[in-house]
């Protein structure tokens, strides 16, 4: 019972309190101004559809919780060993958390509404996925292999 409560809280901490909040604040801070080529004049209002915004936060929370559960499901006595089981768990958790970040990010982008059209460049979408994958891999690896102190946990985050 306590394990699941900790996994759910850790998923909230990783998925919502850090990743989702950072993305949402960044998207709220974005101000679009009509340029000469757009035909718009002045600031373009950007609103967020509440349902997609909430679903993006829930997706980040749920997927992060599952990824952390996969990573933490290892015997504590083997924590300092980098073996086959560790690598499999790390790859699975990294893939899941990175896909959760990408899903959350693009659901947040879909939630933006206003008098504009959003276009996606496949190369940039792919690059954002690689960035999410790299950041998740490095963060989770450091979280698992560094000694468990406050400074190393903050560094891994």
pLDDT score at 4? 85
Q: Are 132 and 88 in contact (CB under 8 A)?
A: no
Q: Are 13 and 57 in contact (CB under 8 A)?
A: no
The DSSP secondary structure of 75-112, one letter per residue, reads -GGGTT---HHHHHHHHHHHHHHHHHHHHHHHHHHHHE
Q: How far is CA 122 from the centre of its chain?
A: 19
- The position carrying tokens 């809280």 is 9
Q: How far is CA 85 from the centre of its chain?
A: 24
| pLDDT of the chain, 157 residues: tens digit per residue | 788 888 888 888 888 888 889 888 888 887 777 655 556 667 788 889 999 999 999 999 999 999 989 988 766 666 667 888 889 999 999 999 999 999 999 999 899 888 888 889 999 999 999 999 999 999 888 888 877 776 766 665 5
| DSSP state letter for 115 | S
pLDDT score at 5? 87
pLDDT score at 44? 80
pLDDT score at 90? 92
Query: Cα dihedral angle (22, 40, 48, 14), rounded to 10 degrees?
Result: -10
Burial class (CB in 10 A: 0-12, 13-18, 19+), 99: middle
Q: Is 23 helix (H, G, I), strand (E, B) or coil?
A: helix
CA separation for the pair 48, 3 (Å, rounded): 35
pLDDT score at 59? 92
Q: Are 104 and 16 in contact (CB under 8 A)?
A: no
pLDDT score at 39? 60
Q: How far is CA 109 from the centre of its chain?
A: 14
């Amino acid at each position: 019972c306590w394990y699941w409560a900790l996994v759910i809280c850790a998923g909230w901490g990783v998925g919502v309190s850090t990743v989702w909040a950072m993305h949402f604040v960044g998207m709220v801070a974005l101000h679009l101004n009509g340029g000469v080529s757009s035909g718009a004049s002045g600031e373009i209002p950007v609103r967020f559809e509440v349902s997609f915004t909430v679903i993006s936060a829930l997706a980040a929370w749920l997927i992060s919780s599952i990824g952390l559960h996969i990573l933490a499901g290892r015997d504590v006595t083997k924590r300092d060993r980098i073996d086959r089981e560790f690598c499999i768990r790390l790859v699975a958790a990294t893939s899941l958390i990175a896909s959760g970040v990408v899903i959350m990010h693009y659901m947040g982008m879909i939630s933006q509404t206003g008098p504009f059209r959003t276009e996606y460049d496949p190369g940039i979408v792919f690059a954002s996925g690689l960035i999410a994958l790299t950041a998740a891999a490095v963060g989770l690896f450091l979280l698992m292999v560094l000694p468990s102190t406050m400074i190393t946990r903050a560094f891994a985050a």
